[in-house]
Amino acid sequence: TDFGFTQVDKSKKADLVADVFHSVAAKYDIMNDLMSMGIHRLWKRFTIDRSGIRPGQKVLDLAGGTGDLTAKFSRLTGPTGQVVLADINDSMLKVGRAKLRNRGIADNVRFVQANAEALPFPDDFFDLITISFGLRNVTDKDKALASMFRVLKPGGRLLILEFSKPQYQLLSKVYDQYSFRVLPMMGKLIAQDSDSYRYLAESIRMHPDQETLKGMMEQVGFEKVEYFNLTGGIVALHRGYKF
């Protein structure tokens, strides 16, 4: 089926991504719950469970947006730990900061505007990096992965939660219909913004599948790389270590 898919060239991609997230920031959380039928909460829970996080550790929640994972890590690392929520988009950062402050979470959290491709942190700094539904928006993914590898401590790990390739043909068909027909419609009705949600569907389809992403992680130096398929591979969690 032709969904009117168009390939976006790289130079325009960064501007497009910026527009999308400026325009969805205010309604991001509610749209996330509606479009995933709340399931993104389970995917994030699974990510936390596989993170091996301990009190006192330093965490980077990259492309952290409105801070769902940051909020959890803030509690789990405690007063001796440190969580950095980094995002390229100041509208998303503002919404995230306000949300966490409202919930009384902020003491051990820092907010940093940064591009995943050129992280402004020292070498060997973080125990854990997460990037949840962020990598597919990054223009140069190899560069971003190398940058993450650099700022991880030896012994540290990277967790990538991202849309991936559904493992069953029927699921794949249903999911295509859902993402290319239902999502833009919901975007239009609820956020008056069908274009941003069409971008979402297109970016999901473009993203590397499970094995390709695993290979990309290994290419920049990650070891013991493995992935877990969630919801039939609609989403996958990749984990790799720096030794």
| Torsion region of 57: left, alpha or beta (phi above 0 gives left; psi -120 to 50 gives alpha) | beta
- Looking up tokens 């700022």, which residue turns up? 151
Q: What character string, x for contact with ligand SAM (CB under 6 A) and - otherwise, covers 47-86?
A: ----------------xxx--x------------------
Closest CA to 116 of 63, 175, 51: 63
Of positions 51, 74, 108, 132, contacts ligand SAM by CB under 6 A: 132
d(CA 179, CA 35): 9
Report, in Å, the least distance between residue 139 CB and ligand SAM: 7
Q: Which residue is nearest to ligand SAM (CB)?
A: 65
- State in angstroms the smallest separation of the CB of 169 from ligand SAM: 27
Under rule CB under 6 A, which residues in 100-129 are in contact with ligand SAM? Answer: 115-117
Mind giving me the DSSP string for 53-92? Answer: --TT-EEEEET-TT-HHHHHHHHHH-TT-EEEEEES-HHH
Smaller CB distance to ligand SAM: residue 138 or 236?
A: 138
**Secondary structure (3-state) at 237:** strand
Does 163 bind ligand SAM (CB under 6 A)? Our answer is no
Q: What is the contact surface with ligand SAM in residues (CB under 6 A)? A: 17, 21, 63-65, 68, 87-89, 92, 115-117, 132-134, 137-138
